[in-house]
Structure 1
Amino acid sequence: MSTTATVTQTVNADNILHLFPDVNTSLASSHSVPTSDAELTGYDEEQIRLMEEVCIVLDPEDNPIGSASKKVCHLMKNINDGLLHRAFSVFLFNSKNELLLQRRASEKITFPDMWTNTCCSHPLGVPGETGSELETAVLGVKRAAQRKLDHELNIKKAQVPLDKFDFLTRIHYLAPSDGQWGEHEVDYILFIKADVDHAPNPNEVQDTRYVSQSELKRMFEEKNGKFTPWFRLICESMLYEWWNHLDNGLERYLHEKDIRRM
């Protein structure tokens, strides 16, 4: 699995509109995706609708410089030209310190059928989920995490309160899904320990599994295992060290200011 591609230029507030006319330099509640869009022909109707959601467009230092549809942000032709957006990844552990994994639905447009961490998505360009300073951005991604845990897994906000999420760090990575779609994100890593009730939304998630560290390592050893690139990157870098300190010493890893470039 390759996570390499060519980014041809650095995108900033001065050149964003010249490079990407479809970007809105303010934040908007939705971007229309035409139903006749040839690039989305043949995909699931609900997943096409979700391509209208608004992602927060960034410069390389995680400063918001506009907004664009999920579709625009995930086309490789735009990613290769430097378009970058904000994302988050939730790692939810139960009281046994087992990690809840999900396997993405076949209907997903990017990275279908792959195992990944509990929930991965994007804060939207809407009040409450944006932020220019790190503190407000972290609060925004925590709110987005609550929203998507409910949408994907029917985990209600009461079981995952905002103050129980721990922000660790941000990773900047690029990964193609196929020739047309991919990811280029500054991904906020959130840990939460909670015993929750969950029931997967089948249009988003086809399977879930709680795993120990040893069980997860065995999954990666399986010949036919398929994992999202961001999850693999996190597992190959810091996940197990963080996991080892889940109950004792995690605070030393929290609120990292620097962005990890992967």
Structure 2
Amino acid sequence: MPEEKVILVNENDEQIGLMPKMEAHEKALLHRAFSVFILNDNNELMLQQRAANKYHSPSLWTNTCCSHQRDGESNLDAGKRRLQEEMGFTTELKESISFIYKAPFDNGLTEHEFDHILLGNFNDIPHINKDEVADWKWMSLNDIKVDIEKHPELYTEWFKIIFAESFEHLKL
């Protein structure tokens, strides 16, 4: 199976090329991404714990799911696809804010992403893909904020950045 490619973009989110995902992360090149935040009717966020076999940030807690758009795929279609692949459900999503962030990892890879925040509502139990997700839980936004301050080592680097950047926009 060929390696997944990411969409390289400029600071205006205009596509400038395609590159294998690992190469883009090794070279820290700016590429398009999305982060899905699923909230329930109690305004709690569904967090996922990454599977222990992930090539970076294994077993850490993060937002509901995130990934990269495929060439020609809309942000919303990409978010729905990945939500189904990782968490085993789909729901309507809406676009929120977008911004650029950069997060280096200990293994030499760097996330340098033009990230689109996607919001959705769900009140049921997900059917997680154990190859991608070790566990999940609902947590209030304020409790997440406090827990990140107390235990930052439990969360992915990108989630800490994205959560802080989008905290005020996490409303349906």
Contact persistence 2:86–2:133 (CA under 8 A): yes
User: Quick check: 1:95–1:195 contact (8 Å CA) kept in 2?
Assistant: yes
Task: Decide whether the 8 Å contact of 1:101 with 1:209 is kept in 2.
Answer: yes
State the 1:236 CA deviation: 2.5
Matched, 1:232 2:160: yes
Question: 1:228: Cα distance to partner?
Answer: 1.6
Please give the alpha-carbon distance, in whole angstroms, between the structure 2 residues aligned to 1:192 and 1:224.
25
Tell me which residue corresponds to 1:242: 169
Aligned letter for 1:141?
A: N
Displacement of 1:224: 6.5
Q: In the alignment, does 2:124 pair up with 1:178?
A: no
The CA deviation string for residues 163-187 of structure 1, in whole angstroms up to 9 with x for no partner, is xx22111110111122421211100
| In structure 2, C-alpha distance between the alignment counterparts of 1:191 and 1:70, rounded to whole Å | 24
Report the equivalent of 2:138: 210
Which secondary structure state, in structure 2, belongs to the residue aligned with residue 210 of structure 1?
strand
- Once the two structures are TM-superposed, the CA of residue 67 in structure 1 deviates from its matched residue by 0.8
Give SS of 1:108's match: coil
Counting matched residue pairs gives: 172
Q: Which structure: larger Rg?
A: 1
Partner Cα distance (2:166, 2:80) in 1:
24
Corresponding position of 2:16? 65
Q: Give the one of 68, 71, 74 matched to 2:25.
A: 74
1:90 aligns to what? 36
Matched position secondary structure for 2:123: coil
Task: Give the 3 Å change call, closer, same or farther, for CA 94–179 of structure 1 in structure 2.
Answer: same
CA RMSD of aligned residues (A): 1.8
Uncovered stretches (5+) of structure 1, i.e. residues with no partner? 1-29, 33-51, 130-139, 248-262
- 1:208-239, Cα deviation, whole Å (9 max, x unpaired): 01001232134224347421222111332341
Structure of higher RCO (CA pairs closer than 8 Å, 6+ residues apart): 2
Contact 2:96 2:169 in 1 (8 A): no
The offset of 1:92, in angstroms, is: 0.3
Q: CA deviation at 1:145?
A: 0.7
Per the alignment, do residues 96 and 223 of structure 1 end up closer, same or farther by CA in structure 2, a change over 3 Å counting? closer
Deviations 1:173-209 (CA, angstroms, capped at 9, x unpaired): 1111224212111000111122244121111111101
- Taking the aligned partners of 1:56 and 1:123, their CA distance within structure 2 comes to 7
Give me the whole-angstrom Cα distance separating, in 2, the residues matched to 1:223 and 1:94.
24
C-alpha distance after superposition, 1:54-102 (max 9, x if no partner): 2111122211011111111111xx11xxx21100001100111111001
Residue 88 of structure 2, aligned match among 136, 154, 165 = 154
Residue aligned with 2:11, SS: coil
- Which amino acid in structure 2 is aligned with residue 216 of structure 1? I
Distance 2:151 2:88 in 1: 31
Counting aligned pairs with the same residue, the percent is 36
Aligned 8 A contact 2:56 2:107 in 1: no
Amino acid aligned to 2:87: L
**Using the alignment, how far apart are the partners of 2:151 and 2:62 within structure 1?**
16
**Large movers: runs of 4+ above 3 Å:** 221-225
